[in-house]
Every structure is written in structure tokens, then in C-alpha cells.
Amino acid sequence: MLHTCLSDTPTPVPGRLLSRMTSRAGRFALLAVAAATGASVLPSTAPDTAFANDLCPLSDEFDDSSTLSNWTRIHEHEEWFADQLEVFDIDGTFPGQMTLMPHTVVWYQDYRGPLVFKEVTGDVAVTGLVTVTGRDGVSVPSSLYSLGGILLREPRDVTPGTWAPGGENYVFLSIGYGQVSPRAFQFEVKTTINSVSNLELSPAASATAQIQTVRVGEYVIALIREAPGDWRVHRRYHRPDFGPTLQIGAVSYTDWTKCATFEPFHHNSVTIEPGMEGDPSPGTPFEPDALARFDYLRFQRIELPAHLEGLDLTDPVTVPDAELLAFLGENALPPEHEDCDVAAVPESPVPTGPGSYGALGEMTLAQNPVVHSTEAILTSRAAGRVDVELIDPAGRRVARVLSRYVEPGEHRIPVTVDHGSGADLGSGVYFLRATLTGPHGVAGSSQTRIVVAR
């Protein structure tokens, strides 16, 4: 591997962490030719689109009712056709918000509630600003387990005719009221494996919070921010059973006392409301009392930092909260109305010759070719997080050299090549690439060739 000698500890930079999209197979030949000939595939003034948030188009600020059609309803997708939401709209009941007001319904074990989702493949952070109250829009809900939030679910290839118990797999984080006396706002986290649900309740300061659910490799991380506090890691789960694609979106549920009188299949198949046929407990009143409002749901592609690869992310001793917050929380929250244009051209090859654009000057090396170590010299004309990576001739990242916040000025970055390590760098041409990320996205890029001589 490539090791970096740093004089101080890298610190996280405010703002989003831009993702690294996998290099396309179509780039490889171009990059190999460039490595051999010294040519640059793109002019040095072209930005590196490999750092775009390709999930940007999935985000929704809920200020345009026409985006309602962009969301999939689980009861339609699985052909149950029993609408469990009494109110579902965008920029309607509450301007600039998505509103979910559920009938009597629940998410628990084989009980499947309402879900408004989008399918996402790969590692992702989804963040929402969520408010959940009673139906009056102010009070703590009066009915047991009346909450709303963000759910990550393994898709099921089922219809009512093929459904069987034991197939629910999901994790969610929600806010509202669970079960506490006197009644007060709470958070609920729930992890469900093959329809075995384990839930935890904890106090919430109010009806509103930023919540974030993250899928990174085999792990799911739940994070919370309550104003005016900072982001905090709430729970961590190991979910190696999750496949590459998940259903991710908004949930709301209420009135567990009534729901518990139904068998799961019956519950999943009907709209539970006063006057319904087949009520198994006519003496138990209907008491739905949840109103969930989402100011936004934003999707951000993320990447696990190289130094955390292979570690158990559920172990706070091995991976402290600060390590997760360095790339999650605020660092995984895209800006409001993020510009998706750069993500629309992911096929563009990355520049492979020397050059720079934007707020970074041309990067130089103190020694090149390199046998054991060298020093990269880089000038930044703006503050932000600088990421320096080693790229092989096929466009693959070999190692992350540096990720830290920098002020404007000249920066000297020590780089040591550890021959015989996992990277096993042989003699040849590689590329050292630096990217500067500011509060509004990529602010500059610089790249130079580095020749390893053995």
C-alpha cells in the first residue's frame, strides 16, 4: 500500500463527501494509451466527473407536486392494492413538504406498512428533515408506536398470492412516539432479519430532527442531528444479508394496539379503518394518530475511507464515532437543490496527463522517478477538503494518499511507497490526483504522473 507521512492528523471538512464512481470499462483503453504515450485524454481545463454524485437525481426538496410520480408505493409495487396512507402528497397539505398520514398500520415482524421509495444500488447515505406529531400537527401522538422516518429494505419478489411469512429484511430510523410514560417524543430504530424485529426507543428533544440512514458495504449506520446540536452516530448494524439493491424511502405508522389484533397477512392486505369488513376486534377502537412531514430526502453516494476497509464498523472501539462522522453526517448531506448536471456525463474519461483546473495549481513532485518516497507540492487558491489519490493506468484507485481540510497556500505532501505491501506497486507509470472540494462541490483538480522505479 501507499503510506503518507503526515505532520498532523487529518480533520474532516464541512460539507458533503463526494463519491468516487467506478471507472467505466470503456475508459481503460484510453487510459492505458495515455499512460504509454504521455498524452492527456482530456484538456487540463476539464473537471473530473468521476467525483460526481450520481444519485443526485433521486433527491427531492418536495417543493414541486409533480415529483410525486417519481416515488414508488410498496402496496402498488407488490400488488396488494390496499392504500394504507390516508394522506400522501407533495407540496400539498403542507407547502414544500411531503406529507404521510397513515391509517392504522405498522412495520413489525411480518406486518408490512406503507413505504414510499426509490431503488438504490450500492453504498448510499439518505438524509431527511423529518417532523412527526399527532394528527393535530403539534402534540405528541396519543397512539402507541406512531412514528415516521427513513427505511432501507431488501426488495421482495412477492404478491399476495406468493407471499409467505419470514421474508422481511430492513433497517429504519424514525421519530415520533413509541411507548413511554408520560408521553414524549422518541426515536425508534429497528433492524429486522427474516421478519424477526429488534427495536430500540430513545428520547427525542422535539418532534423534528435530521435523520440519516447509511448503507456502506455490509453495514447500516443510523445518525441523528437535533438542532442546535451536532450530528451523532445513533446505532450501527451489520447486515451482510442485504443484496446490492435496496428500497429506500419514507415510512409512517401508528396504532399498534389495533394492528396487533390482525394477522400479518390480513393487515398487509387491507386498509384498516372504521367500518371495514372483517375487523377481528370490533371492541378495540381505531386510534391512528401520526402525521409525518418531510422537508427533503437527499441521496448521496458515499465511499468507505481506505483505512477503514476490512474493519468492523459496529465496534466503536475499533472505529470510533469520529471516524464515521468524518465522512458521514454533514459530510454526506448534499446541498439544497444540488446541481445534477455534472452527474449526467459519467462516461467522460478522467484526465490522465499533467494539468489542473479551478482552485488548484499544477501539482509537482520533488523527486520523480520514485524508488521509496517523494514529496508532492500543491498550491490551493481556496480552502476546502483536499483528497489525493494514487491511480493506476487502468483508472483504478490504488490508495488514498491524503484526505484533509486545507487553507489557501502551498502544501507539501510526503508520500512513501512501501514496496512489497498489499498494493505491490511495480515499476511503471501511475498518476497522482488531487481534488479540492468546497462547500458547493468540486472547486479544483490537479493531476501529475508519478513513475515508480524498482
What percentage of the chain has pLDDT greater than the value 90?
A: 65
State if pTM tops 0.85: no
Quote the cell numbers at residue 391: 491511480
Averaged over 73-86, what is the pLDDT? 96
What's the pLDDT score for residue 441? 65
What's the pLDDT score for residue 101? 98
397, 414 Cβ separation under 8 angstroms:
no
Of 246-260, 314-328, 346-360, least confident by mean pLDDT is 346-360
* CA geometry: angle 335, 337, 339, nearest 5 deg: 90
| Domain locations along the chain | 2-52+346-452, 56-332
Average pLDDT, whole number, for the chain? 84
3-state SS assignment for residue 363: coil
Q: Is the pLDDT of residue 262 over 80?
A: yes
Alpha-carbon distances of 168 from 76, 108, 192, rounded to whole Å: 17, 9, 7
What's the pLDDT score for residue 370? 85
Residues in CB range of 190: below 8 A, 6 or more apart: 107, 108, 170, 171, 172, 197, 198, 199, 200
Averaged over 178-188, what is the pLDDT? 98
DSSP states along 388-431: EEEE-TTS-EEEEEEEEEE-SEEEEEEEEE-TTSTT---SEEEE
> Which of 340, 251, 348, 291 has its CA nearest to residue 55?
340
- Please state whether the peptide bond connecting residue 95 to the residue before it is cis, i.e. omega within 30 degrees of 0: no
Residue 191, H or E segment = strand 186-193
What's the pLDDT score for residue 293? 98
355, 362 Cβ separation under 8 angstroms:
yes
How big, in percent rounded to 5, are the helix, strand and coil portions of the chain? Answer: 10, 40, 50
Of 14-28, 250-264, 339-353, least confident by mean pLDDT is 14-28
Residues in CB range of 209: below 8 A, 6 or more apart: 129, 130, 175, 187, 224, 225, 226
Averaged over 174-182, what is the pLDDT? 98
CATH code of the domain occupying 56-332: 2.60.120.200
252, 132 Cβ separation under 8 angstroms:
yes
What's the pLDDT score for residue 396? 72
Which of the four pLDDT bands, split at 50, 70 and 90, describes residue 51? very low
What's the pLDDT score for residue 28? 28
Q: What is the CA radius of gyration of the chain?
A: 25
Place of cell 458495504: 217
CATH of 2-52+346-452, one of 3.40.50.300, 3.40.50.410, 2.60.40.4070, 2.60.40.1080: 2.60.40.4070
Averaged over 284-295, what is the pLDDT? 98
pLDDT in tens, 116-168: 999 998 999 999 999 999 999 999 999 999 999 999 999 999 999 999 999 99
Chain centroid offset of residue 95 CA: 26
Q: Is the pLDDT of residue 240 over 50?
A: yes
What's the pLDDT score for residue 451? 86
Of 159-173, 316-330, 422-436, least confident by mean pLDDT is 422-436
Q: How many CB atoms lie within 10 A of CB 164?
A: 10
Please report, for the chain, how many H helices and E strands are present, in that order. 5, 23
What's the pLDDT score for residue 354? 61
What percentage of the chain has pLDDT greater than the value 70?
A: 82
> Which amino acid appears at position 17 of this protein?
L
What's the pLDDT score for residue 341? 67
Residues in CB range of 326: below 8 A, 6 or more apart: 10, 12, 305
What's the pLDDT score for residue 422? 40
Which of the four pLDDT bands, split at 50, 70 and 90, describes residue 21? very low
Which of the four pLDDT bands, split at 50, 70 and 90, describes residue 253? very high
DSSP states along 211-253: EEEEEETTEEEEEEE-TTS--EEEEEEE-TT--SEEEEEEEEE
Quote the cell numbers at residue 171: 433497517
316, 125 Cβ separation under 8 angstroms:
no
What's the pLDDT score for residue 302? 92
Residue 132, H or E segment = strand 124-133
> Which of 417, 143, 65, 122 has its CA nearest to residue 299?
122
Asked if 2-52+346-452 and 56-332 have one fold, the answer is no
